[in-house]
Structure 1
């Protein structure tokens, strides 16, 4: 890999909306399970939209992980490369973050600072309307395959991370949002506040 290469692995989505969190969970798992070369940056992009433009502009190679609407069976995985990647962003939108990220890619192209290689590993969601929910079982079951596909793409770009002997001590986001603590802190579906996650709403009290 050339010294000028800067590979960005970007997970986008909203952890609080069930399968919308797939991309963030995938990049979280890549961070926890592998040690990465200095030229590789793993990013929890959340739903930042246009705020991600500088990150995209700085990337020579960009791998996106996301929940997408590709017209597949719920829970099915899909991989797209280069010119095929923006196509799903200009099709049916599932959420506002996809509109924002389509604009990010377009603006990067217009600025003359877009990645030379682009890839997407996406999953067709099962559930998006469960606020405070986590990944559904079919989508969670696709995480190992999604990671394998991501590693295959990166190997094609000359990136070979080393498997960690123990999970990374640091995370890409607050420790409470990591998958296991998040699951442990979730109320049951019966007890959940359907107008919002009580853990979030409590922060606005007082």
Structure 2
């Protein structure tokens, strides 16, 4: 069984809904890890998450959480707590995560799953980039993720200080209306279409 994985979950097209994906990429670009750790962008993986729940000892999911509290509040939700939270399930991937946990909880061997979630301000508007509320809490969200990773015995070291707008721009070329001067992989697109 593999040891530890961090899975950023969400949908980058709907403002704060992308925070988990941005956080996983932020960790990759700004930190080095000494220990058995994988970090992936899980997107809206849904039922594919089951594979991770079965193949790893520890799964940390970075995501939004739909709890009736103030936007920007950060929650650490171990799987046993999540299983009792019917009202948590608002977005499609939140529903799928809980359903996956319910399915694997009856198996003999499954990961210890922890969700590190932040309450979003806006997951309805179409737009790439975080709201100011979530952006202001993003660093704290990352520090909570680092603390969770370190609790698994993985050493962490900050090696860069790339800001979240630049991380997102490096992924998709845009952040809250600011664009890179060129689209990522623009050359590849031009060659593929013979422009």
| TM interval, short-chain normalised | 0.7 to 0.9
Within a 5 Å distance, the mapping from 1:162-177 to structure 2 comes to 162-165=157-160
Pairing partner for 1:46 from 43, 54, 76: 43
User: What CA RMSD, in Å, does the superposition of the two structures yield over aligned residues?
Assistant: 2.6
- Corresponding position of 1:204: none
The Cα shift of 1:61 comes to: 0.9
- Corresponding position of 1:60: 57
Within a 5 Å distance, the mapping from 1:7-46 to structure 2 comes to 7-37=4-34, 39-46=36-43
The Cα shift of 1:152 comes to: 1.2
Pairing partner for 2:174 from 185, 189, 193: 185
Q: Distance in 2 between matches of 1:11 and 1:125?
A: 15
The Cα shift of 1:81 comes to: 2.9
- Corresponding position of 2:133: 138
**Quick one: structure 1 residues 147 and 87, their matched pair in 2 at CA, closer, same or farther if it must change by over 3 Å?**
farther
The Cα shift of 1:180 comes to: 2.1
CA contact (8 A) 2:7 2:60 kept: yes
- Corresponding position of 1:202: none
Which SS does the other structure have where 2:83 is aligned? helix
CA contact (8 A) 1:134 1:183 kept: no
Pairing partner for 1:70 from 67, 72, 77: 67
- Corresponding position of 1:158: 153
Structure 2: unaligned runs, 5 residues or longer: 178-195
- Corresponding position of 1:107: 103
Structure 1: unaligned runs, 5 residues or longer: 168-176, 189-206
Q: Distance in 1 between matches of 2:94 and 2:46?
A: 8
CA contact (8 A) 1:105 1:114 kept: no
Q: What is the TM-score of this pair, normalised by structure 1? A: 0.74
**Quick one: structure 1 residues 95 and 57, their matched pair in 2 at CA, closer, same or farther if it must change by over 3 Å?**
same
Which SS does the other structure have where 2:60 is aligned? strand
CA contact (8 A) 1:36 1:162 kept: yes
Q: What is the TM-score of this pair, normalised by structure 2? A: 0.78
Name the one with the larger strand percent. Answer: 2
Which SS does the other structure have where 2:41 is aligned? strand
